[in-house]
């Protein structure tokens, strides 16, 4: 019974495990003693030399480098075009690339560039400023100053870009002849380029960007070719935005029948921005404006005995129609010849056919130039359209990629100038004699060019066929004193003479009467003279009396004893305050356990 109990069995198991663990080291030692030693290598196979053997035999020898494992072609990481482009930009010629990297100023400069690439602009600027202050004679002075401006530019924001502009201009002032000055000047233009708005908003940034790019191309014509190419392209982009703005304004005036202003804006685009992507639409707009003027002329009735409304003579009407139609046809012809590859050239051809004008044929040179210009323009894709839809940026997708952008603005065409030209057309059509007089006056002026003009006396009255001026208008109180009528008759070419632009009438007589000055005591043409009823002088202004001096009535008087305070009287105590019934800012209510205290 004792050996079959659970306690006895458990004790036996413990003793067995203990004896087994005690005999385990003895068994391992016996196994090591009985294991045979490994056989020695044969004498034919040389043993590998150890490190000690190599050191004692021939000095230190470096172990051979293991070759990197080959990677399959499909598993290799290929650099994209954008990555390669950025690497080419960063791997530009750097005269300080081979300098000792252990120099302290070089270490500061390299550290700042690494921080700038990581976006830590403030820390990078601190390191660069430390370099400028600590090493004033360092060879990295110029590049450190340029790197500070670059950090402001890359940081972005209106305040940072304004600081970057100032830093770039300071760099150009201190280092005007270094190659990096051209890059700094272009970055000034890039600052305004990044802040440009869409064409129908403020265009001040676009004007500033255009001026800065033009200054860069004028001042640094020997800059590196990539920088010049980039500056020209950005200048074309800026001019594309400005031309779009002018064309949109011209289209607005055309929709509201203000043809003078519309033509002026369109002419400005043609003269100032010849590489505009929608130049065909601009020329068609000019032609449509002149066609509208011709349509207005056709709507006028011809003068006849029974016509009472505004009318035009038959000859004048035909001349005006011919003048405006010829200008419209000239604009349409420029589209067909100079912009033969433009998208809307068919619209210009349809208008020429409608006017009965034969279609012109562009020369091979014109056709090749137009195809090259239109072929350089980029096309819209899904990415471009999404960027223009989401981002508030100007549309420069279709800007020209070739050609020299104009560096000077042509004289702007204004609406008053166009309006005066239209009025001149009407005057030439209504008065043919003025055209002959102007034609004869031009050769005479060219023949006497360089000579002092002779003085001519002023005429008292306008001569027949001469142009009336302000000097011919009689002054107030002069002229026909008798009130007689002035008889006029149509002038003849012989009577009109050869000078000036006549009004088509000749003065026969003034109806008699004295032409001298009227007497001073005129009856004011029967109107009563306006004057005050009482013409007597006003009384002089009286000076106000002097105010009496102020008197202190209480001075020197004693206070009534009844009103004097009693010095022996004690101050009355303030009345008791009940917090339960009254509230006051000085006596705050009890809080917490104090509410239980009745005192």
pLDDT digits (tens, 9 = 90+) for 533-569: 788 887 887 777 887 777 777 666 665 666 666 777 7
Residue 196 near residue 209 (C-beta atoms within 8 A):
yes
Residue 459 near residue 474 (C-beta atoms within 8 A):
no
Query: 375 versus 446: which is more confidently predicted?
Result: 375
| pLDDT (0 to 100) of residue 373 | 93
Token pair 């109990």 in the structure block, residue:
5
Provide the mean pLDDT of the chain: 76
Of 358, 301, 348, 307, nearest in space to 328 by CA: 348
pLDDT digits (tens, 9 = 90+) for 66-106: 666 776 766 677 778 888 777 676 655 455 544 566 788 88
Structure-token pair, residue 215? 């200054």
Residue 93 CA to residue 85 CA, distance in Å, equals 15
| Cβ contacts of 378 within 8 Å, gap of 6 or more | 384, 397, 398, 399, 401
Alpha-carbon Rg for the chain in angstroms: 51
Of 151, 233, 153, 202, nearest in space to 405 by CA: 233
- Crossing angle, helix 180-194 and helix 141-155, to 10 degrees? 10
CA-CA-CA-CA dihedral for 464, 470, 473, 477, to nearest 10: -160
Long-range contacts of the stretch 5-11 (C-beta < 8 A, 24+): none
Phi, psi of 205 (to 5 degrees): -65, -35
DSSP string, 38-92: PPPPPTTSPPPP-HHHHHHHHS--PPPPPPPPP--GGGSPPPPHHHHHHHHHHTS
| pLDDT (0 to 100) of residue 104 | 87
Token pair 């306006």 in the structure block, residue:
530
Alpha-carbon separation of residue 173 from 166, 178, 257, 362 (angstroms):
11, 11, 51, 50
Phi, psi of 200 (to 5 degrees): -90, 15
pLDDT digits (tens, 9 = 90+) for 294-324: 999 998 888 877 776 778 888 888 999 999 9
DSSP string, 315-357: HHHHHHHHHHHHHHHHHHHHHHHHTTTSTTHHHHHHHHHHHTP
Structure-token pair, residue 191? 């600052």
| pLDDT (0 to 100) of residue 341 | 92
Query: Is pTM beyond 0.75 here?
Result: no
pLDDT digits (tens, 9 = 90+) for 41-76: 444 444 444 444 444 444 445 556 566 677 676 667
Predicted confidence (pLDDT) at residue 131 exceeds the cutoff of 80: yes
Largest CA distance in the chain: 176
| Cβ contacts of 205 within 8 Å, gap of 6 or more | 192, 193, 195, 196, 197
Query: 129 versus 505: which is more confidently predicted?
Result: 129
pLDDT digits (tens, 9 = 90+) for 513-527: 444 444 444 556 666
Structure-token pair, residue 521? 């005591």
Query: 205 versus 14: which is more confidently predicted?
Result: 205
CA angle 565/568/573 to nearest 5° reads 85
Would you place residue 37 in the very low, low, confident or very high pLDDT band (cuts 50, 70, 90)?
A: very low
Would you place residue 510 in the very low, low, confident or very high pLDDT band (cuts 50, 70, 90)?
A: very low
Residue 511 near residue 498 (C-beta atoms within 8 A):
no
Residue 127 CA to residue 109 CA, distance in Å, equals 7
β-sheet bridge partners, residue 487: 509
| pLDDT (0 to 100) of residue 78 | 76
Token pair 């009254």 in the structure block, residue:
582
């Amino acid at each position: 019974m004792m050996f079959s109990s659970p306690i006895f069995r458990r004790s036996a198991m413990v003793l067995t495990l203990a004896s087994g663990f005690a005999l385990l080291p003895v068994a391992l030692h016996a196994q090591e003693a009985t294991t045979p030693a490994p056989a020695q290598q044969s004498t034919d196979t040389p043993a590998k030399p150890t490190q000690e053997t190599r050191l004692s035999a021939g000095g230190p020898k470096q172990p051979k480098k293991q070759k990197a494992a080959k990677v399959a072609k499909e598993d290799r990481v290929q650099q994209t075009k954008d990555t390669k482009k950025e690497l080419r930009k960063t791997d530009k010629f750097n005269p300080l690339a081979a300098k000792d990297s252990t120099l302290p100023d070089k270490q500061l400069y390299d550290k700042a560039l690494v921080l700038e690439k990581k976006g830590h602009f403030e820390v990078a600027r601190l390191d660069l400023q430390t370099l400028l202050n600590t090493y004033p004679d360092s060879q990295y002075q110029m590049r450190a100053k340029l790197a500070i401006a670059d950090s402001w530019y890359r940081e972005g924001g209106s305040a940072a870009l304004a600081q970057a502009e100032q830093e770039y201009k300071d760099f150009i002032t201190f280092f005007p002849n270094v190659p990096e000055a051209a890059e700094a000047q272009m970055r000034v233009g890039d600052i305004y380029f990044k802040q440009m708005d869409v064409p129908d908003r403020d265009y001040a940034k676009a004007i500033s960007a255009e001026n800065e790019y033009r200054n860069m191309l004028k001042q640094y014509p020997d800059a590196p070719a990539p920088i010049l190419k980039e500056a020209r392209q950005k200048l074309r982009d800026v001019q594309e935005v400005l031309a779009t703005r002018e064309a949109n304004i011209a289209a607005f005036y055309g929709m509201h029948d203000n043809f003078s202003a519309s033509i002026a804006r369109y002419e400005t685009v043609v003269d100032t921005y010849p590489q505009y992507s929608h130049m065909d639409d601009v020329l068609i707009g000019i032609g449509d404006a002149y066609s509208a003027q011709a349509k207005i002329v056709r709507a006028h009735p011809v003068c006849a005995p029974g016509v009472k409304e505004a009318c035009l003579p038959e000859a004048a009407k035909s001349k005006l129609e011919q003048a405006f139609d010829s200008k419209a046809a000239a604009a349409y012809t420029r589209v067909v010849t100079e912009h033969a590859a433009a998208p809307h050239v068919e619209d210009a051809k349809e208008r020429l056919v409608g006017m009965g004008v034969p279609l012109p044929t562009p020369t091979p040179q014109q056709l090749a130039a137009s195809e090259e210009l239109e072929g350089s323009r980029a096309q819209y894709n899904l990415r471009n359209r999404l960027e223009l839809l989401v981002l508030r940026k100007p549309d420069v997708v279709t800007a020209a990629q070739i050609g020299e952008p104009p560096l000077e603005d042509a004289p702007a065409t204004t609406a008053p100038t166009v309006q005066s030209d239209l009025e001149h057309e009407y005057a030439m059509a209504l008065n043919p004699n003025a055209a002959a007089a102007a034609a004869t006056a031009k050769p005479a002026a060219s023949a006497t060019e360089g000579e002092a003009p002779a003085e001519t006396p002023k005429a008292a009255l306008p001569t027949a066929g001469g142009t009336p001026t302000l000097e011919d208008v009689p002054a107030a109180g002069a002229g026909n004193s008798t009130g007689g009528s002035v008889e006029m008759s149509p002038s003849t070419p012989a009577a009109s003479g050869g000078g000036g632009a006549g009004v088509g009438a000749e003065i026969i007589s003034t109806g008699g009467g004295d032409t001298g000055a009227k007497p001073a005591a005129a009856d004011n043409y029967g109107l009563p003279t306006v004057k005050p009823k009482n013409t007597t002088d006003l009384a002089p202004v009286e000076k106000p009396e002097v105010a009496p001096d102020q008197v202190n009535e209480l001075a020197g008087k004693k206070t009534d004893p009844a009103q004097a305070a009693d010095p022996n009287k004690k101050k009355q105590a303030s009345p008791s305050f009940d917090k339960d019934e009254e509230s006051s800012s000085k006596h705050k209510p009890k809080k917490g356990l104090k509410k239980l205290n009745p005192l």
